[in-house]
Amino acid sequence: MRRLARLAAALLGVAAVTLTAACDSGAPAIDLSNSGPPVDTTVNFPAGSTMQRLHDAQKITIGTKFDQPLFGLKNPVTGRPEGFDAEMGKLVAARLGIPANRIEWVETVSANREPFLQQGRVDAVIATYTINDKRKEIINFAGPYYIAGQSLMVRHGNPAEIAGPDDLSGKNVCAVEGSASSTNMRNRVPGAHVVLFDSYSKCAEALKNGQVVAMTTDNTILGGLRSLDEDAFDLVPGTFTQEPYGIGIAKGREDLVRFIDDALRSAFADGAWTTAWDRTAGRILGAAPAPPDVESY
């Protein structure tokens, strides 16, 4: 119950941070939960395609994180996720001719992303989701739409003096089940005791409580969590992997992968991608980098 209360406080905190940031930058405070890029009204898809089916239904189901500030964080008032991943979802929906309020958002944690796609519970997963060969054996990816890197977060003041992953041998480090971060950490530092939770907000709690000396995942996620609680955490400088974020799609829907790849390419070119970044992750993580090259399917 106390954890729930703290999480609720953190969620309200991020809403306050977002509003303050909006005021500080002079940008209008936009309701990110429902706004989206202009919906394409001139769509024309091949008969029988996945795109035609989604468009005709006027609905797309997207899996994302609900507890990751900057990328996918559920707004406690609207119940809808906000962040860069949510904006990518709206961008894809808009190009399918589906408005943002017709997206059905489903919470995915790291470990259930592939199963949710395979079971058809979601049409796409946009959830700080690294494209890798193991995952590509069972699902497809559009993208990448961003390249993150794995890093470490420690308690404020860094009492265990962790300067990089190799200092974690013999120590407790938190990671999330089913994440590339947990596999990378085990491979890189076999002597580390990797403590697994199902979500990053729970890892942050364990770090705060001193149950682990560090938590490890992408710099993007760590930066977002720290922005909620700057007095509690420090980021260890540097990254030690490359994590290209893709949009997960079930096997057999290669038409949708190609469509999303094209949608990303045009969003990179027309500024929609940069706008999405600036309104979300960019407020804490800084200016948008150059967009990555989309891998052709």
Site of interaction with ligand GLU (CB under 6 A): 110, 127-130, 176, 179-181, 217-218, 221, 243
Q: Please report, in angstroms and rounded to a whole number, the separation of the first and last CA atoms in the chain.
A: 46
Q: Closest approach of Cβ 291 to ligand GLU, in Å?
A: 18
Taking CA atoms, 251 is separated from 115, 116, 121, 174, 268, in Å, by: 12, 12, 13, 32, 25
60 φ, ψ (degrees, to nearest 5):
-135, 140
Measured from each CB, the residue nearest to ligand GLU is 179
3-state DSSP call for residue 215? strand
Question: Which CB atom, from 50 or from 130, has the smaller least distance to ligand GLU?
Answer: 130
Q: Report the C-alpha gap between 215 and 203 in whole angstroms.
A: 7
The answer to whether the beta carbons of residues 240 and 165 sit under 8 Å apart is: yes
Question: Which CB atom, from 54 or from 281, has the smaller least distance to ligand GLU?
Answer: 281
Q: Closest approach of Cβ 110 to ligand GLU, in Å?
A: 4
Q: Closest approach of Cβ 180 to ligand GLU, in Å?
A: 4
Q: Closest approach of Cβ 111 to ligand GLU, in Å?
A: 9
Based on its alpha-carbon atoms, the radius of gyration of the chain, rounded to whole angstroms, reads 19
Question: Which CB atom, from 87 or from 218, has the smaller least distance to ligand GLU?
Answer: 218
Question: Which CB atom, from 200 or from 273, has the smaller least distance to ligand GLU?
Answer: 200
Q: Closest approach of Cβ 247 to ligand GLU, in Å?
A: 12
Question: Which CB atom, from 122 or from 176, has the smaller least distance to ligand GLU?
Answer: 176
Beta pairing class for 124-125 and 60-64: parallel
